[in-house]
Every structure is written in C-alpha cells, then in structure tokens.
Amino acid sequence: MCCYAAADKCPANEIFPDAMFPEVTFETSMGNIVVELDRQKAPVTVNHFLHHLNSKAFDDILVHRVVKDYVVQTAAFKSDGSEVKACGTVMNESGNGLKNTKGTIAMARYNDPHSASTSFYFNLNDNNNLDPNPKGWGYTVFGLVIEGMDVLEKINQEPVQYNKKLDAPNAPVVPIIIKKVTLLQ
C-alpha cells in the first residue's frame, strides 16, 4: 500500500522493531541529511514516522517553510502541491526529556497538542520556546541530525516568500524537494 487515506488510522504494529535508534536518510535536492531517531524517548512518534516512511508518504515532498535561523519544515505537501496523506495523528511526547536544540527533528502540529500527523521540522537553533513548560505542551523531538547540518544551513540561506498555491508563508522561492526518505539498514 502506497499511501493512507486522510482518515485512516496508523497500523498499531511496531515497524522495524529491532531498531531502537534507527537511522534515516533524507535525499534532498540540496544534499543528504541523516538523522538518528530515538525510539527509547519517543517510541510512539518514531513508530508513527516509520509507518509514513514505509508507506513512501515522505517521498517527493516539499520543504514548505524556512524561517531563517529557526526551523526548516517539510512533509505537509507533495512536490505537486497536494497534501501528504497521513495515517492519523500521534500522541504528543514532548515531555520525553529531548529538547528543541539545534540539529534535532521534531513533529509540527496545530494548537491541539495531539494533532501532529506528517509534518516535521529541523531545528536550526536552540528553540526552547518549542519545549514543554508549565503553561503548555511543547513539540515532540524524536531524533538528531548526525550528518547533513551543512545541507540544512544551505537551505536556511535560500530566499523565501509567501506561496499562494500552498497558502504557506516562508516557502522557498526555488522549490526544495525531499526526493526520498529511507531507513539505513
């Protein structure tokens, strides 16, 4: 099965169960990024992410938001502008002890703390404003960039503008594509 319908629920089975710290490669139009996921601290989020990776939902997606020296966000839109198909949402695990520090990957969400589905971002700085605090939920960090920070820094330098088709502020003027996301074996 390639993709999930928007209302489908993610399968409950654990995907790639033997990989406690799976490494994934993001093949982008600007170079590769390798991330080590932390299933120990964010098991539900990592499993959710790996289900989408396995279904190829993260192949041929746009980097749709670059906020200079803050975040690079992706996985809301395919390169043709259509929405990435999600298999439901994931429980917020922001209280797992992982922080939104430079070089981490975290789930994007709406105001509802448990609304993360496919979209995620890379932190370009230490963004403690995205961590949980006594007044509210944070954003779930679930991994760390181990190669390719130079690629994220290149993306950070790209000019951005409002993209009317996507209704997305801070979209790169020249589209940046994540061609494929694969699990390193």
Which structure tokens are listed for 60? 């041929």
**Are the C-beta atoms of residues 59 and 72 closer than 8 Å to each other?**
no
The closest of 108, 113, 107, 111 to 141, measured between CA atoms, is 107
For residue 116, give the amino acid letter.
A
Q: Mark out the alpha helices in the chain (DSSP H runs).
A: 43-54, 149-156
The closest of 145, 57, 152 to 101, measured between CA atoms, is 145
Q: Is the dihedral of CA 41, 45, 48, 51 positive or negative?
A: negative
Give, for all 185 residues of the chain, the pLDDT tens digit.
233 344 467 777 888 888 899 999 999 999 999 999 999 999 999 999 999 999 999 999 999 999 999 999 999 999 999 999 998 899 999 999 999 999 999 999 999 999 999 999 999 999 999 999 999 999 999 999 999 999 999 999 999 999 999 999 999 999 999 999 999 97
The class level of CATH for 23-183 reads mainly beta
